[in-house]
Chains A and B, each alone.
Chain A
Amino acid sequence: MTDMSEIASLEARLAVAGDVPGASGGRLEARDVSAWFGKRLVLANVDLTMEPGHVTALIGPSGCGKSTFLRTLNRMHELVHGAAIGGEIFLDGVDIYGPAASPATTRRRIGMVFQKPNPFPTMSIADNVLSGLKLSRIKRTDAGDIVERSLTRAGLWREVKDRLKTPGGDLSGGQQQRLCIARALAIEPEVLLMDEPCSALDPGSTRRVEETIEEISHQVTVVIVTHNMQQALRVSDRCAFFLADENEPGRIVEAGSTTQLFTNPRDSRTEDYVNGRFG
């Protein structure tokens, strides 16, 4: 077990050499990350590097700690009462849990899209997009441009450009989720974390969101948690397979390029999982 995760982490670190030329975005590096809820250890010794220009997918059965890991990456984990974390997470070489970093500034650089679309119901579509700037008191004179650019990047502009003043809650579920993506992109984060962003969406909306991920992946480092093997295969360049044995914390079984993980997995459990034999 330990050997396997060490091999996996070695893999992940070796992969640092594989930067995509011309891609911008932040490099996230998790070193020996563990997480607790109260006394219960739910995630142990995770090493993973998420590189600019790559989409990293976190896969694994329910309760394996992949969502918890995602939430440690922008300090959302600590919002839960009694939650704790161990290890280090570096954003472009600086520890986001270090004394110089604050949760708010970290979250401004590492955006997040949630499982269920959660646009602010009291705000119009345009205000939703700008809400991140307003919430962190960033004054911008080109608000109109930001709205158009962010909605375009999220693939929603053409559908809503004539009704920017209507409430965000009036949109369909798929549109709401893309609005949330636009909202996260408007503050120009270096990394975008997505926690099963399509699990509440229909196939058409899912396809639009996946196209959006593809388009933004050159400017933003994307990390996505998904239960859907096909989706991981479609959108991600790199994959990390999480697994938790009964009453054991979740660990990374195997991490590497998506093609390798799906076609030639090193670990038999990975093979079983990606072929749908459990989970």
Chain B
Amino acid sequence: MTAIASPERRATRHLDVAGLAQAGACALMAVVVTALLFAISPLDGTLGFGLVAYALFLTAYAGVLTLTIGPLKRNDCLATVIIASVALLTFVPLVLILGFVVLKGVPGLTNAFFTQTMETVGPLDPPDVGGARHAIVGTLQQVGIAVLISVPFGVLTAVFLSEFAGRRVARVIRFLVDAMSGIPSIVAGLFIYTLFVLRLGHGFSGLNAGLALSVLMLPTVTRTAEEVLALVPGSLREAALALGAPDWRMVVRVVLPTARTGLITAVVLGVARVAGETAPLLMTALGSDGMNTNPFEGQQSSLPLFVFKLIRNPLEGQVTRAWAGALVLIAIVLVLFTVARLAAARLRRETR
């Protein structure tokens, strides 16, 4: 028996050390030259510095590349560099916002923040007294109500659009839904305020806030769900119909289950759309300092209202609490995202 030499893998991508060194040298040169330029001229400002340095870098790098690898591959390289830097640039605000909120919010995250309300908190109390429990409960209830209203309506509308409506009817409804997604959130709040709070005399309540949020959430859920349903292969619908299924059984047993991971995404996008809304809540839930676990009656707080109220306060402790509220709001949305993603991945693994 002869030993078979085990095959060796070959790398198909090579780290271009020389190329990276070129780029690095050009970047360094650009920064140094810009610094000199800014030192000897009246030019000023960080943004200007960045722009000038970037322009210099691109020019220098293009020159070097022309000399080393020729104009054709130069264009390729330059395109890669420009696209990469633009992509990086869009990433910067996200990181900055998250980092800033975490930095500002963490000091306020005391035990009391999750267990107490603001009812008995004096303006000069330290951050370990008083909290946002009432606001967290309010946000969860109001967003929950919005989900309960807009998910059934949104998904049913999407089913109607993708499965039953004729082309002309679908176009009209789609246009209306798109128009609805353009409603400014404060207008949605005003609508609920005049109709429910004033005209019907319901007063301020978490339910009214949930209604206002559902107005904003409905178009997002509908349009996303419709696009997801459109991805279900027509061959599956045909298969179900050819087995003698009535239309609605086909939708319930085949189309919706096949699209379920996408439908979860639709709901998550809807929640993300409304979780941070503040304006409509000002006119519907109004906000409160105490705990109100009954969404059907009385003023209720929410995290955006909590943040809005406290951040305008000049006192250090209140501002810290506001940042902590913002951080918790982000965390809640993030947790929802993660849970939904995990659920979707799990469903996909089960069915494939």
B253 CB to closest chain A CB, in angstroms?
A: 6
Task: Given the known inter-chain contacts A114-B235, A136-B249, A167-B352, please indicate yes or no for A184 contacting B243, CB distance below 8 A.
Answer: yes
Partner of B244, one of A81, A104, A116: A104
A163 CB to closest chain B CB, in angstroms?
A: 14
When distances are taken between beta carbons in the complex, the residues of chain A under 8 Å from B350 are 167
Q: Cβ of B178 < 8 Å from any Cβ of A?
A: no
Interface string of A126-158 (1 = CB under 8 A from B): 000001101111000000000000000000000
In the complex, are the beta carbons of B352 and A169 less than 8 A apart?
yes
Q: Cβ of A183 < 8 Å from any Cβ of B?
A: yes
In the complex, are the beta carbons of A136 and B258 less than 8 A apart?
no
For chain B, the count of residues having a C-beta within 8 Å of the partner chain is 23
Binds B, one of A30-38, A86-94, A117-125: A117-125
A39 CB to closest chain B CB, in angstroms?
A: 17
CB interface residues, A 43-101, toward B, < 8 Å: 74, 76, 79, 81
When distances are taken between beta carbons in the complex, the residues of chain A under 8 Å from B254 are 120, 122, 131, 135
Task: Given the known inter-chain contacts A76-B238, A114-B235, A121-B258, please indicate yes or no for A108 contacting B352, CB distance below 8 A.
Answer: no
When distances are taken between beta carbons in the complex, the residues of chain A under 8 Å from B250 are 135
Nearest neighbor of A116 in chain B, beta-carbon distance: B235
Q: Cβ of A239 < 8 Å from any Cβ of B?
A: no
B225 CB to closest chain A CB, in angstroms?
A: 17
For chain A, the count of residues having a C-beta within 8 Å of the partner chain is 33
In the complex, are the beta carbons of A135 and B249 less than 8 A apart?
yes
Q: Cβ of B246 < 8 Å from any Cβ of A?
A: yes
In the complex, are the beta carbons of A120 and B244 less than 8 A apart?
no
Task: Given the known inter-chain contacts A107-B244, A111-B243, please indicate yes or no for A118 contacting B233, CB distance below 8 A.
Answer: yes
Q: Cβ of B103 < 8 Å from any Cβ of A?
A: no
A252 CB to closest chain B CB, in angstroms?
A: 24
A124 CB to closest chain B CB, in angstroms?
A: 9
In the complex, are the beta carbons of A170 and B258 less than 8 A apart?
no
Nearest neighbor of B167 in chain A, beta-carbon distance: A81
CA distance A107 to B254 in the complex (A): 17
Q: Cβ of B239 < 8 Å from any Cβ of A?
A: yes
Partner of A136, one of B239, B243, B351: B243
CA distance A180 to B254 in the complex (A): 15
Q: Cβ of B25 < 8 Å from any Cβ of A?
A: no
Nearest neighbor of B235 in chain A, beta-carbon distance: A118
Q: Would you list the 9 A-B pairs with minimal beta carbon distance, nearest first?
A: A108-B244, A135-B245, A132-B243, A112-B242, A122-B257, A118-B235, A107-B244, A118-B239, A136-B244
**Chain B residues within 8 Å of A, Cβ to Cβ:** 167, 233, 235-236, 238-246, 249-250, 253-254, 257-258, 260, 350-352
